[in-house]
Structure 1
């Protein structure tokens, strides 16, 4: 009986995460725009599942700052402002600068070669999409690139924080970027150069590239 109960919990937890991931992708793609309202019932019917994992997934996204709860009405996609965006870029800059000041070289030295190879592969995929101006493809690869890069520090709190902020910055930037007629070579595409500098443990170049990335982000949506 206990084993069956545990299995049910695992299946529900997995479904909850799948729904949360799917909805996050919808938001990042702009198919669920800022301010868009919806209910648990609507999402449950859309995915053909019960209300419980949907409600849990939506609350998870609320905790990540992506959705807002509307009292007695449901949920809506959170609307970030330009001030929010600037503050988020500043926050991730400060955290990354702190990483470089405290043990980045040791973390890189302890990173297995296969991890760095994987990061380089993600970098190549992200850069290709960025140069082509393919926003939909870029978002997924860019998030995976920075997520793997963040995991090098071996601190789940820092990795989760940076990943959450990066998702939120994309949420703000995507609607603005979609208004541009052509994004070819306009999106930041220094992923490979950054990955290569880390492989060489050239931290000064890595810091410069990350500073350029943050400045580019601010300029692109200004």
Structure 2
């Protein structure tokens, strides 16, 4: 009986995560618009599952700031403003700058990419960056978001602090949720999207902290200027 109960718990937990990821992707794809409302029943019927894992998934997404819960009307996609996006950029910049300071002092899991194991992991991150760069240049927003989220998560993972990884990943997801509502209105995104992923990895690999900071500052300035321009119409 214990084993059966454990399997059931794992299955439900996995389903809960799958539903949360699927709904997050719906928001990032623009199929669920900011302010759009829905109920647990509607989502359960859409995916052909019971209400319990759906409710848990929606609560998880609410905790991540992607949904707003209304006791009487269900859930709705959170509406971020340009000011919200500015706050996300500032928070990300402060955290990553602190990370770079730690790297300069020889702290964290990077160890300046000196050991073979870390170097191999960095090579994987760089490949993610290459895919993100190609998608950005081509203006393929859907592909870019997928690779960009993996790039930043894997890059921050190298630092060796899981709390840092989770925080930065949440900021990156929220930033994209805020950005896509504006970016998907543009008919052609070629030349609009930041594509400096591999430049950042290369700067870190050659221990050029000044260049890495400049690249990150450029990324923040580019992203903020683009979203503020689009939000202003």
Report the TM-score when normalising by structure 1: 0.96
- Which of 208, 224, 233 aligns to 1:202? It is 208
| Cα offsets for 1:2-58 (capped at 9, x unmatched) | 111111100110000000000000001110000000000110111111111000000
User: How much does 1:201 deviate?
Assistant: 2.4
**Take 1:26 and 1:71, find their aligned partners in 2: how far apart are those partners?**
23
User: How much does 1:110 deviate?
Assistant: 6.6
Pairing 1:214–2:216 present: no
Pairing 1:152–2:152 present: no
User: How much does 1:108 deviate?
Assistant: 2.1
* Mean CA deviation greater in 96-105 or 210-219: 96-105
* Kept after mapping to 2: 8 A contact 1:108/1:201: no
**Take 1:220 and 1:110, find their aligned partners in 2: how far apart are those partners?**
32
- Which of 177, 180, 191 aligns to 2:197? It is 191
Pairing 1:171–2:177 present: yes
Number of the residue aligned with 1:44 = 44
Pairing 1:123–2:129 present: yes
Pairing 1:139–2:145 present: yes
**Take 2:181 and 2:80, find their aligned partners in 1: how far apart are those partners?**
11
**Take 2:103 and 2:212, find their aligned partners in 1: how far apart are those partners?**
14
Pairing 1:21–2:27 present: no
* Kept after mapping to 1: 8 A contact 2:112/2:205: no
Pairing 1:91–2:91 present: yes
**Take 1:114 and 1:37, find their aligned partners in 2: how far apart are those partners?**
44
Number of the residue aligned with 2:81 = 81
Unaligned runs of 5+ in 2: 229-233
Report the TM-score when normalising by structure 2: 0.92
Superposed CA RMSD: 1.2
* Mean CA deviation greater in 123-132 or 196-205: 196-205
The alpha-carbon distance between structure 1 residues 110 and 12, as it changes in their structure 2 partners (threshold 3 A), is farther
* Mean CA deviation greater in 121-130 or 199-208: 199-208
| Cα offsets for 1:49-93 (capped at 9, x unmatched) | 111100000000000000000122110000011111101111111
**Take 2:205 and 2:75, find their aligned partners in 1: how far apart are those partners?**
44
* Kept after mapping to 1: 8 A contact 2:194/2:222: yes
Unaligned runs of 5+ in 1: none
User: How much does 1:186 deviate?
Assistant: 1.5
**Take 2:184 and 2:66, find their aligned partners in 1: how far apart are those partners?**
19
* Mean CA deviation greater in 208-217 or 106-115: 106-115
Number of the residue aligned with 2:231 = none
**Aligned with 1:221: secondary structure?**
helix
In the comparison of the two structures, how many residue pairs are matched? 222
